[in-house]
Structure 1
Amino acid sequence: MKVKLKVKIIVAFSALLITTVLVIFLYTQKQAFDGINQITQDLFSVITKNVSDETITFLNPAVQIAKNFADNPGKLQISLRNNDSIQTHFGAHALNMLKLHSHISGIFVGDIQGRFLFAKQMENGKAGIKVIDPSGELLPKFLNLLEEKGLQDLNIIRDQNTSVIQNSFWKHFDAAGELTEIRVNKDDNYDPRLRPWYQGAQKAQKIFWSDTYIFFTAKKPGITVAEPYFNASGELIGVVGVDIELDRLSVFLEDQKVGRKGLVLIIDREGEVIAFPKINLVKMENDKLRTIQYTELELPYLQKAISTYFETGKNSFSVTENGINYLSAFTTFPAEFGKDWRIVIVVPENDFIGFFSEIQQAIILISLFILSLSIGTAWWLSNNISKPIETITREQKKIGKLELDGEFKLDSAISEVHDLSQGMTAMRNSIKAFQAYIPSELVRQLIERGEGANLGGNERTLTIMFIDIANFTTISENLDPEPLMLQLSDYLGMLAETIRLNHGTVDKYLGDGVMAFWGAPVSSEQHAIHACHAALSCSKGIQEMNQSWELKGKKPFWSRFGIHTGVTLVGNLGSQSRMNYTVVGDSVNLASRLEGVNKIYKTEIIVSSDTRDAAEKEFLFRPLGSVAVKGKQQEVEIYELVESIKQATEDQIQFSGEFMTALSLFQAGNFQGAKKLFTKIGDQYPIDYPTKIYIEKCLEKERS
C-alpha cells in the first residue's frame, strides 16, 4: 500500500517522539518508584530504629535502677531488716528515681525471708513506701521512733479489721519528701517469693522481664524488670524489681509520623498489643482486666496485616482492604533487648505515592502537550516538505498523461525540491515542444495501457477515417503560403481536437488531409459509433469555421470523409531508432478510396456497409448503392452518413427513406418505377447529386 510522504513524516516523527516520551516516562516512573520504595524502606528503617531505640531508652532506666540496687546487696538487706527509720537507703534512692522517671510506677525489693519494700509514685508528686515484715516487729519499732522524733501527732490510719499481727504498713511522703502519714494495713498475705517476677529472676539468675500484665493499683498495662542479688558466696538473697507503665510508650508512638495516616505499634510474639496510640489497651473480662489482642483492634486492615505476618513470616509486604493498598513492615527488637517484641508499621500506599501520582499526571499532561505541539510542528514541517513534492507529483502525473496546458511554477526554499522543480519544468517544456510532432493522445493511451515502444503489431477490428479538403490545389494556388498555412493549421487543429474528444487517434496529417482510427490502442466496442460522431462533429466545425472565414474574406475549406470498419493491422512500424504507431492493410486503403468516392457523388461523408452495420442504431444512413473501388474485385456497398438518429429531422428521415425505396426499385430492375420516384425526389431536392446520378442510370437502362 502506497503512503503519502506527509503521512510518513508525521507517523515517523510521531512514532519517534512517542517512543522517546514513553521511554523517558517509563524510565522516570521506574526511577521514581524505585526512589519511593527506597525512601519508604529508609523511612521504615528510621522509624523502626527510632521506636526500637526509644523503647530501649524508655525501658533502660528501669534496668539500670534494678542493677544499681542489685549491686549493693548489703544496703538492700539493711533496708529490709532495719526499716524502722523514717527513711532508708532503699527508700531515699527509690523515691528519687521515681521522681526522675515518671513512666516508672514502682520500685521494690524482696528477700528470701519474705520481707518486701515497695516504693510507688502517686498523684501530685506524692510517693509512698510499702513495708511488709512477716515478723511484725518493724511497725512497733517505727511508731516508737516517731515518738522519739516528736512526731507522735503524725496522722496514723489503721484498718478497722487490722489483726494483732501488723506486718504491713505504708509510709506516705509529700512532694518535698516529708513524711505525712502512716497507713497500717490489715494482715497482708503478700509473699514476694511467690510472685512471677521473683521466681523468674531466681530461675534465670540474671535480669528477667515479665510478660505484660495489668498493674493492680494503676489499672494500666505494664511490665516488670527484675534483677537477682547474691551474697558473697553467690547465694541468692533477694530480687529487685521495677514496674514500668507502658501507656507512656503508646504516647511516644503517637509522635512517630509515617505518612499522613500511617500507624506504628508494638506487639509480642503472641499478638498481644504492647503499645498503640490513642487506644485503650485494657479490657474487662470476667470481672478481671486484661491486655487486648491485635484481633480486637477495630481496624480491619491492621488485623489483616498482622495476620498475614504471622501466617507467612514475611517482614515486608502489602495488603489490600476496601480497595486501598497498605504497606506493612515488621521488625523484631534486638536480641539483647530481652523481649520478643515486634515493631509494626502499616501505612496507606497512597501516602507515599499519592504525590507521585499527581506528578505523574502532570508529566502525562505535559507530555501530551509536548506531543501535540510536536505533531503540529511535524505536520507543518511535513507540509513544507511534502506539498512541493505533491505539486511536482501531480505535475508529473499530468505530464504522464501529456496534459501540458497551463504553466508550472513552484518556489521552494529547499534546494533539492527547487532543483527537482526546475528539472520538471525543463522536461515539461521539452515534451510540450515535441508534442507538436507526436500524436499526444496516442502516446497518452499507450502510456495508460502500459504498452512499450516495441516494433510489431496485431490485427484488430478498427474504424478508419480519412478527411481531405475538396479542391485544395485550386485554393492553394490563389493564396499566399503563410496565410494558407495558418488557415490550414486552424483547420487541422480543429479536426484533431474533435477526433480526440470522440476517442479517436490521429495517425498522421496528409498535407491537407487527416488519417485517424478508432479502437486502438484502447479497445472499444463502439469505435464505429465514435468515428461517426467525430465525422458529424468535424463537419459542423468546418461549417462554423467556413462561415467565419467567409466573413473575413477567406476561402472556405469543404471537406470529404471516408470511413470504413474492418480488420486492420495496428502497431509500431518502422525501426528501433524511429517508429510510428499506425494502421496498415486493406481496410485502410478502402477508407481512403471511400473518401475519394465523395467526388463522384458530390457528398461529404461516405461509409462502408461494415461501418453502417456497426452504427445503424445510432445514425441515419442513406444507401448509395455499390461502387467499384481500386484494389477490390467486388463492388462495395456504400452509404452516406446523414445525421445521428437523435438529431435527424423529419425531412432528413423522409428523404433517406424515399431514396432507399427508389434505390431498391432500381436494384430490383424496376427502372421505370425507380426513375419516377428518383424524379420526384429530384424535384424536391434539386441539388442532390446522387439523385441525378440514379435518374441518369435509369435512363441509360431504358435506352439499353
Structure 2
Amino acid sequence: MDPFGFFFKGWPLKYNLMFRLILLITVIGTVLTSISFTMQYNEGKSSRYMMMNLISNNINDLLMDFLAEIEGEAEAYKDLLTKASINNPEVKNQARIFIANHLKSNKYMDGFSIIDGKTGHMIRTMKDQGEKLLVAETIPEGNLLFRSTLYENQGTPEQKIILTDSNENDPRHFDFYLEFKDNKKKGWFNSRGYSQNVLHGYPPILSYVVPLKDDSGGLVGMLTLDFGVLQLQRYLMDITNKKMDRDYSFGGIPFVLERRNNKEIVVIGHPDPTYIETIPDPSIVSDSNKFLILAEKHPDQRIRAFTKIIEKEYKENRDPFNQNSTGINVGKADDTSLWLYSWTATYPGQKPDWIIGVCVNRELAAASVIRSLRITLWVLGFLIIVTGLASIKNSRIMSKPLERMAKDVIEIGKGRIVFSSDTTIFVKEMIDLKDGIEKMKSGLLSFRKYIPYKVVNQVLASRKTAEPFAEKKELTIFFSDLENFTTISESLEPDKLVKLIGDHLAMCTNIIQSLDGTVDKYIGDSVMAFWNAPEDCENHELKACQAALACQEQMVLFNERNRAEGLPYLKMRIGISTGTVFVGNIGSNDRLNYTAVGDTVNLASRLEGTNKTYKTSILISDKTEAGIREQILTRPVDKVAVKGKAKAILIHEVLAKKENETPELRKIIDLTVLGFEHYLAMRFQQAIDCYKQILGFNKGDHLALFYIERCKGFLVFPPSSDWDGVHISNSK
C-alpha cells in the first residue's frame, strides 16, 4: 500500500514524481552515507592487515625464490662432483667455470666449498667485499695435520698467496660437516663464520649443504653453496628500494631474524648495510659471531620492538620460528610509535630457524584510510545535493513521454498505427511500456500478412512487421522419409492412410520440438526440421542426432502398434547435415514462410536418400559428426560426392548414445574404422577381413556386407592408381 497515495491523489504526474524522487533520494542518500561510514570504518581496521599480508607474502616469495635458486644451483653442481675427487684437475676446471659464470654474475652469491670426505682436502671459492675472487685451500700434510692457504687469482699467472696457516683443523670436523654427515640429507645451516683459520675476520655466511655420495650411497664429500650475510643485506636493500611499493611501505622495512642453537635471536638480514659492513659495538653482538647483532639490542628501534612481540608469542606458547601461518601483530617502539608487523617462518619445524618479517608505521597506514573516509563523506554529500536538484528536472522529463504514449495508445485503438521513436525515455518501466506498444503495432500489422499464424510470437517479440528477409546462420538440418511409402499408400484406404501418416508426423514433431528443434515443413511423409533458428540453440548438432535416435526408437513402438491394427511396417531414413544456410521469412509480401535454404539443406536431403545405398537408417555429414563425437557413437560409412556437389565428404552412420555403448558395439566401431582405412589404402583383402569380423558380432550388419561385396569387386577389377576412394552418389 502506498502511504502517500491519498496525499498525492489528483496531483499532476510531474509534481507527484518530483516530490517522490526528492524524498527517495534523501532517504537513500542518508542510508548510503551511514552504510559507507560503517564499511569504511570496518575496512580501515582490516585493510592494514590485508596490506601487511600482501607485503609480507610478496617479500617472503622473493626471498624464498632466492633461496630456491641457490638450492637448484647446488643440486646442479652436486651432480658434477658426486663421483670425482677433489684433486681431480677436471673438477678444478669445473670450479673455475662456476666462478666465472656464477660468482661474478650473481652479486648476491658469496661462494662455494667442496670437502673430500676421504682426505679432508677442502677448496673454498668466495668473493671479498671488493668483489675479488679468493680461494682458500686446506690440504692434509699427514699425521692429522692440515695447512690452509688463502690465494688471490689462483691458477693464473697473477696468483698471489695472501695468508697461510699450518695449524688448520680437519675440515671433516667442522660443525656443518658433522651435522650433515650423520643424516646425509641436504639442507640449510645456520649463519656461521668461515671455518678455515685463514678466513677468520670475514663476515658470516649462510650455507646450503649438499652431501656428495657415490653410487652405493656412501658419503664421499660435502658441497656447500653460500651467500654472505652482507649479500642478504644488499638483497633486502634492493627489495626495499625497488620491489616494495613506496606508497605502501609507510616507513617500514623487511628483515630476517635467526634463532641460533643457544636460543640467541640475531639479525641476519636488514636493508641498512652499515650494520654489517663495519664491525658493530661488541656489547650488542652475539657471543658466537662478532658480526651478528642481537635483535633485542639492535640499533634499529623497529627490530627491538619486534623482539617484544616474540617474547609475547613465547609466553602464549606459540613459537614464531615454527609457525606455519603468517603472524600479524602491533609493537611499540622506544619513541612510542606504533608499528604493524607481519612475519613468516621460512622452514617451520626444521633448520634453520629463520623469520622473514616486514613492518609499517601504523599511523601512516591508517592515515590513508581516514583520508579516504573523509573524501567519501564529502562525495556522498555532494551527490545528494546534485541528485536532488536533478530530480526536479527529471520528473518533468519523465512525465512528458507518458503523455505521448497515452495519446499513441488512443490512436492505435482507432486503427491508426504509426511507428514512432522517443529517445528521451530513460526509465526502464517506461522503456518497457514503449517497447510493448511498438511490438503490439508490429503484431497487429503482421496479422494481415501471416497466414497461418505460426510465427506470430516471433513477430510480436520484434519491433518490425513481417517482411521477407533472410540471415546467414549455421544450422543443423534434419530430413526424414519413409521407405517405399508411395507403394504402401496405394494399398491403404484413404482414412487409414491419413491416420497413419498423421500419427507418424505427430511422433516426429513431438520429439523434435522437445529437443528445441523447429519443424519447417511436411512434404508428404517427409519431415524437414532444423536447429539454431529462430532462437539460438547450444549443441544443435547433438540435439538433432538425439532426435534422430529417439525417432528411430519410437518407430519400433510405432510399428508394434501398427501391426496390432493390421497396418503395414514402416521404415524411416534420416539425413542430417550442419552448415551455414540462409534462414528467414521467404515468400511474397502477402504470404511468407519461415524456412532455410542452401547447400546444407540439399546435403541433408541427399544424405537421407543415400541411406538406400548402404541400407543405413541415420547418416550425418562430417561437420555434424565433429560436433557430437564426444556424446554419440558413430562409424565412418564412405567418402561420398552427393548429387549436385563436386566436393566429396566423409559421411557417418549414427549408432547410439555414448552411454549406451557396449563392448560388442565398440568392437564393431573399431573394426569399421580399421576396415575403412584399409579400403581407402586399397588393401581390399585386409578390409574384407575386418568387415567379416564384424559379422561375427552381427551377422546382418548392413555396412559390413556392403563393403565385403564392394571390396571383392575391387579385387577382381582393381581401381586406377589415382583412385581416391570417393563414391559418386546419385541419390536424390
Range class of TM-score, shorter chain: 0.3 to 0.5
TM-score (norm 1): 0.41
TM-score (norm 2): 0.39
Larger Rg: 1
